[in-house]
Amino acid sequence: MADKKGIEVYLDLLSQPCRAVYIFLHHNKIPHTVKTVALRKGENKTPDFTKLNPMQKVPVMVDNGFVLTESDAILKYLATNYNAPEHWYPRQPERRARVDEYTAWHHANTRPHAAKVFIMEVLLPRMTGQPTDPAKLERALSELDETLEKLESMFLKRQPFLCGDDVTLADLLAVCELMQPLGGGRDILKERPKLATWRSRVQSALKDSFDEAHAVLYRLRDKSRAKL
Ligand SMILES: N[C@@H](CCC(=O)N[C@@H](CS)C(=O)NCC(=O)O)C(=O)O
């Protein structure tokens, strides 16, 4: 049985994988302490943080001296070692394999494609002072659209959640990523009713922890919309 003393997590809630870890811990009432690492202030580049994670990325989890990076590994570790309901990461081999199938695909598809739109519309203009290049944005949106199409046709199909009848780690990672372009005022699911309904379903399943984790992104969205 894992230690009940609690866990330390190093997070910046503007980061999609950090929000997934935060939501999982909060929703499942797993005792933990959040240590904020403000990426915009370069706090991930300090010597202390670099010692903890030489990759200089968040999230990082420390459980009684056991240091773990990568949201996927952290979520699966938490689901396996702490008392989280089984639906998150089912024990039955085929059902678990479905979650692993999505999460492997996620990091090469949903994540880079949704993140690119946010980077182009929010981060790059802030860093360079230059407006978004419309042709590059068009290409990024078209790549993202292919991913959204596959999410609907290959994963969601006719089921309520990406891997079946109940919410899993796959939905959690996916929803946090697909929310990100909202920071630039863009709702990428606006014209995708099937995925938009899925998002509402995931949001309801996660209750307050969803909005709590996304508060900082909502503030960014409101600022972006005010500029339009
Ligand atoms: N594959 C990693 C990705 C972690 C990652 O890219 N984190 C970003 C924030 S979303 C970061 O820390 N970036 C800081 C940097 O690269 O300087 C995971 O899922 O945990």
Is 183 a member of any domain?
A: yes
Determine the distance separating the centroid of ligand 1 and the alpha carbon of 104, expressed in angstroms: 16
Query: What local confidence, expressed as pLDDT, does residue 4 receive?
Result: 53
Q: How many CA atoms lie within 13 A of 116 on its CB side?
A: 19
Question: How many whole angstroms separate alpha carbon 8 and alpha carbon 115?
Answer: 26
Is 207 a member of any domain?
A: yes
Ligand 1, atom 16: nearest CA belongs to which residue? 57
Question: How many whole angstroms separate alpha carbon 89 and alpha carbon 187?
Answer: 28
**Across residues 166-180, what is the average pLDDT?**
98
Indicate which CATH number applies to the domain containing 205: 1.20.1050.10
* Domain end call among 84, 119, 138: 84
Residues 27 and 132 in one domain: no
**SS3 call for 164:** strand
Question: How many whole angstroms separate alpha carbon 60 and alpha carbon 56?
Answer: 10
The CB of 141 under 6 Å from ligand 1? The reply is no
The CB of 183 under 6 Å from ligand 1? The reply is no
* Entry pTM: 0.96
Question: How many whole angstroms separate alpha carbon 132 and alpha carbon 196?
Answer: 26
| Tally of domains in the chain | 2
Q: Which domain holds residue 18?
A: 7-84
* Domain end call among 84, 113, 128: 84
Residues 198 and 106 in one domain: yes
Condensed to tens digits (0 to 9), the pLDDT of residues 110-158 reads 999 999 999 999 999 999 999 999 999 999 999 999 999 999 999 999 9
Q: Which atom of ligand 1 is nearest to the CA of 72?
A: 19
The CB of 70 under 6 Å from ligand 1? The reply is yes
Condensed to tens digits (0 to 9), the pLDDT of residues 201-224 reads 999 999 999 999 999 999 999 999
Q: Which atom of ligand 1 is nearest to the CA of 57?
A: 12
The CB of 59 under 6 Å from ligand 1? The reply is yes
The CB of 209 under 6 Å from ligand 1? The reply is no
Residues 79 and 137 in one domain: no
Residues 25 and 126 in one domain: no
Read off the pLDDT band of 225 (50, 70, 90).
confident
